[in-house]
Structure 1
Amino acid sequence: MIQIGQSTLSLEDFAELVIKHKEVALDKAAMDKVKANFEFLKKFSSNKLIYGINTGFGPMAQYKVSEENILQLQYNLIRSHSSGSGKLMPPQLSRALMVARLNSFMQAYSGVHSEVIELLQAMINHDICPCIYEHGGVGASGDLVQLAHLGLVLIGEGEVQFEGGVYPTIEIFNRFNIKPLSIHIREGLAIINGTSAMTGIGLINIIQAKKLLNWAVLFSAMINEVVQAFDDHYSHELNIVKHHKGQNAVATTMREILKDSKMIRDRSEHLYNPDNLDQEVFEDKVQEYYSLRCVTQVLGPIYDTIAQAENVLVNELNSVNDNPVIDHVNHNIFHGGNFHGDYVSLEMDKLKIAITKLSMLCERQLNYLLNNKLNQKLPPFVNLGVLGFNFGMQGMQFTATSTVAENQTMSFPMYVHSIPNNNDNQDIVSMGCNAALMTKRVIDNSFEVLAIHLVTILQAIDYIECHDRLASVSMSLYDRVRPIFPKFVEDKAPYKNMALVKDFLENSDNIIAVK
């Protein structure tokens, strides 16, 4: 189990809960604070005008709600905002959203009854995922629409995803003897007023972006082996004079991967040979193309961008992103905008741009392998059959090229695309959930591109017959993937095997990591 409330949740803790399905345990001391926070709100709110308890919401806050209607007000809020459309989010993203919302409540500043927290714990531990739609949130008063669909499930309405199917919520609740939530004071507003959808999705994006970076570094190392590149472009001496953590982390990892390769060449043994000076035109390339030689400079900023995004989103995960903030320690309630998603939105846009650039690098490396006029080592399209009769990787290149083009188009930032709404009460918004979902699509696309890239590298290894001279890390990957996508000479439809390679890249854990 992973305990929530005792200390700050890390990205690793989040991954254990969401991806590996570890169960949630609730810290007793934190739960005591939640209960004290609720009791304070119950007493403090008596005979006072407090937003979202006895007032309308947003631009309707100037309207007082009568005492007999204040609980129904919370139900009305949840039901009216359950207005999402488009595709259902995958269960993993719904689980991520619930973990993020639970952790925010456990900070004990939301004034919720402990029943909400125990219900979220039960849903997470039974893997009951609310049906939440992609479209709806503008990320300003939080992820209102996405979180309203969570609220709908918590009160026993709507639908859930469970064991691969979609069911009425109450049917699954009854199966586990789970009692739907009864509103106590402000649980409706507390549930929907936060950044937990964009944060949960964003953290999954960061986990997957790290995998993409690790694969891109490994594939870059392998392509340098295939073309028998020189070793100085990833050397310590060259990279250390550029003072960026990411660049040097990538260079260090490439050296670790290639340390026992028998394919990489030492420049001093080849080009620094005096006999070469007698040649008017050098047969050996003095320097490789940028997609091979500038790997540390291209992937380094991507490393740094992922690290920054992780720092910001882990902070958001462990923050109070509600309004108003119920402060039982200082005996007050503070109204503001902690639900605003700008921190997440900006980081998701930066991450999206970075991953698009990663896919562009891999596409250029792929093109280098496929174009015999560039590499001067391999047949066109790494075709292991009869030229003109067979096609090799030709068809798959189209898929990689078009998918990278889609990434490039989607890289326009959502962060600067504010559209006022809510009767201009929300006159500047973050579009954070949109930003996180678009980043997820760019990441998914990039796994498709890298799958094609990897198969091309393996075909090149087979053509050159250099398996036994590869670095041990490269050789291990070759041996793991070849059973999934075997060497091919004759033309056959590759799409099913390609999907298996993509799945392997997305779900493998034992990758050499850039640190």
Structure 2
Amino acid sequence: MISLGQHVLSLTDFSDIVFKRKSVDLPESALDKVAINFKFLQQFSSNKLIYGINTGFGPMAQYKVSEDNLLQLQYNLIRSHSSGNGALLNPLLVKALMVARLNSMMQAYSGVHNDVVELLAKLINQNVTPCIYEHGGVGASGDLVQLAHLGLVLIGEGEVIYEDAIHPTSDVFNKLGIKPLAIHVREGLAIINGTSAMTGIGMVNVIQAQKLLGWAAMLSALTNEVVEAYDDHFSHELNIVKHHKGQNKVAAMLRDILKDSQMIRNRSEHLYQADNIGHDVFEDKVQEYYSLRCVTQVLGPIYDTIVQAENVLVNELNSVNDNPVIDHINQNVFHGGNFHGDYVSLEMDKLKIAITKLSMLSERQLNYLMNDKLNKKFPPFLNLGILGLNFGMQGMQFTATSTVAENQTLSFPMYVHSIPNNNDNQDIVSMGCNAALLTRKVIDNAFAVLSIQLMTLLQAVDYLNCQSKLSTQTLSLYTEMRAIFPKFIEDQPKYKDLENVKNFLEVTDPSVSFN
């Protein structure tokens, strides 16, 4: 069980809740602060003009709302902004969104009644996820549309996904004995006016990006191994003179993976011998292609980008992103723009560019393995059958190439794609949720590309019959993956194999340290 409201919620805590279904707990001391904050707002707002409590919203804020309509105003806000469209968000992403919104409210600056946080915690713990659509939010005034659909469910309306099926919210609430939320003061605005959709999705992206980086290092190591590359390009001595943490971290990862490999060659033993200098032409390539030799320089910046993204996203996760901010400690209500998602949007754009580059490296390594004229070691397309009659991995390469091309197009940044709206009240916006969702797509694509590379590498190992020479870690991967994707000679459809391998990579942690 993970407690909210007392300590900083870490990436690991978040992952445990979203991926491992650990329950959330709301300690009494944290709930007491939420209650104190709510009572302060009740008293403070009784005779003052405060945005979103007794005024309209956005450009309609100059209109005062009568005392009789204050609670209806909050319901109207939720219902009117439940206007999403497109595909439904994956329930895992919705759960991430809910955790992010709950953790923000548990900071006790949102002016909400305890009913809100307790209901959110109950839905999270019982795996009831609102139906929320991909399209809608522009990422300033928060993720208004996505979070409005969350609010719609909290008040007992709309639809939810429960036990892998879509149901009317009221049916599930009745089944589970859950009482819908009743508005007290500003719960409608507090629910929808924040960055929790982009933050929740962004946190999932960071977790999956860490896995991708680990797999990219593992597959780069195995690629170097099967072609019997030299060891100096990932040596400590070469990389330490480049003063980047990510590069040296990746180099250390490669050294650890390949430490007991019998296939990686030592340059001194093979090329620095006196009898080699007499040749005019060297059959053995003196330096490998960049996709093999420059792994630390390519994956290093990606490592650093993921680390920075984690730092920013965890900060946002533990921040107050409401407007206004209800500050019972300083006895005031502060109006501003903490709902603005620029921090998340920029990091998501950087992350998707980095993951696109990771997929490009994988595709180039795959191409090297496929092209017998380059590697001079394997049959074309790692075809273990009859050349001309069989096709090996040829068809899979098309999928990898087209998927990387899509990633390259998706890498156009959302952060600089602001479009004014809301009668120009929102005249510069972050598009943060769009950025997070596009990054999610790039990450999903990258898993597919790495899966095709891994399938090809398994065929390469079998062609060489080199299992006994592999490092302990790469042999373990080979053995585990061959149980999922057996060796093939005759041509068979591969789309189900690809999905099985991809599913394995997505849920399996390659145990890469990001400390």
What TM-score results when the alignment is normalised by the length of structure 2? Answer: 0.99
Is it true that 1:381 corresponds to 2:372 in the alignment? Answer: no
Paired with 1:206 and 1:512, the residues of 2 have a C-alpha distance of 13
**1:509: how far off?**
2.6
- 1:384-425 per-residue CA deviation (whole Å, 9 max, x = no partner) reads 001111000100000000000000000000000000000000
Q: Distance in 1 between matches of 2:21 and 2:6?
A: 19
Alpha-carbon distance, 1:513 to partner: 4.5
Superposition pairs of residues 66-85 of structure 1, within 5 angstroms: 66-85=66-85
Match of 1:130 in 2: 130
The Cα of 1:47 is off from its aligned counterpart by 1.2
Answering whether residue 395 of structure 2 is matched by residue 395 of structure 1, we say yes
Q: Which residue of 1 aligns with 2:295?
A: 295
Instruction: Tell me the percent identity.
Output: 74
- What is the rounded CA distance, in whole Å, between the counterparts of 2:164 and 2:467 in structure 1? 41
**CA deviations over 1:22-67 (Å, ceiling 9, x no partner):** 0010022111110000000000000111100000000000000000
Q: Return the offset for 1:512.
A: 4.8
User: Cα distance, 1:511 vs. partner?
Assistant: 3.8
Q: Does residue 100 of the first structure (1) align with residue 100 of the second (2)? A: yes
CA distance in 1, matches of 2:27, 2:431: 33
Show the counterpart of 2:247. 247
Report what 1:17 is aligned to.
17
- State the partner residue of 2:209: 209
User: How does 1:338-357 map onto structure 2 within 5 Å?
Assistant: 338-357=338-357
Amino acid at match of 1:121: A
Aligned equivalents of 2:256, 2:448: Cα separation in 1: 26
CA deviations 1:203-246 (Å, max 9, x no partner) are: 00000000000000000000110000000000000000000000
Q: Deviations over 1:95-142 (max 9, x none)?
A: 000000000000000000000000001000100000000000000100
Per the alignment, residue 238 of structure 2 pairs with 238
Q: How far apart are the structure 2 equivalents of 1:313 and 1:509?
A: 20
- Any conservation in 1 of the 2:142–2:193 contact (CA below 8 Å)? yes
Partner of 1:467: 467
Secondary structure at 2:284 match in 1: coil
User: 1:168 aligns to what?
Assistant: 168
Q: Distance in 2 between matches of 1:109 and 1:24?
A: 20
Runs of 5+ consecutive residues of structure 1 not aligned to the other structure: none
Residue 226 of structure 1 aligns with an amino acid whose one-letter code is V
**C-alpha contact 1:131 1:161 (8 A) present in aligned 2:** yes
Report 1:132-211 matches (<5 A).
Answer: 132-211=132-211
Would you identify which runs of 4 or more consecutive aligned residues in structure 1 move more than 3 Å? 510-515
Structure 2: distance between partners of 1:390 and 1:207: 39
Confirm or deny: 8 A CA contact 2:370 2:380 kept in the other structure.
yes
What is the distance in 1 between the residues matched to 2:23 and 2:271? 58
The whole-number CA distance in structure 1 between the counterparts of 2:330 and 2:266 is 66
Task: Give, in whole Å, the separation in 2 of the partners of 1:108 and 1:90.
Answer: 29
In 2: Cα distance, 1:449 partner to 1:100 partner: 30
Counterpart in 1 of 2:257?
Answer: 257
Cα distance between partner residues in 2 of 1:471 and 1:228: 12
Tell me the secondary structure at the aligned position of residue 45 of structure 1: helix
Aligned to 2:62: 62
Q: How does 1:40-59 map to 2 (within 5 A)?
A: 40-59=40-59
Q: Which residue type is aligned with residue 99 of structure 2?
A: V
- Asked if 1 retains the 8 angstrom alpha-carbon contact of 2:215 and 2:510, the reply is no
SS in 2 for 1:160: strand
SS in 2 for 1:46: helix
- Partner AA of 1:93 in structure 2: L
3-state DSSP class of the match of 1:200? helix
| DSSP 3-state at the match of 1:333 | strand
Contact 2:341–2:431, Cα closer than 8 Å, also in 1 = yes
